[in-house]
Structure 1
């Protein structure tokens, strides 16, 4: 299955609100650790290294264009 890059969340605003809320009260370091833990959990859930690699590359390109 290819990486889905089109909007796919049934309630994107609810996701965003939950993501922001989960970071409430955390230091910058704790927020970074939470993000890393979330990435590892979701990567494990996906379980497909090709999809994970593609997602990582697209995420990096969104921050540092080629």
Structure 2
């Protein structure tokens, strides 16, 4: 059984964030939402572990 890693795990987070923002540049809200949905599905497929994916869904649903 795998566990969701919520600790910092991206080697260059600022560069990734800038790349993510750039990918959304010029997109309308619906296009941006569709891009996010495709990205989520690609990353979920890459992870593949249903336990981890369920944990991620629960973690994302939490509100501070």
TM-score by length of structure 1 reads 0.89
1:36 corresponds to 2:37: yes
Count of residue pairs the alignment pairs up: 63
Cα distance, 1:57 vs structure 2:
1.0
* RMSD over equivalenced CA pairs, Å: 1.0
Runs of 4 or more consecutive aligned structure 1 residues displaced over 2 Å after TM superposition: none
Which structure is higher in RCO with an 8 Å CA cutoff and minimum separation 6? 2
> Gaps (5+ residues) in structure 1?
none
Cα distance, 1:44 vs structure 2:
0.4
> Gaps (5+ residues) in structure 2?
none
TM-score by length of structure 2 reads 0.92
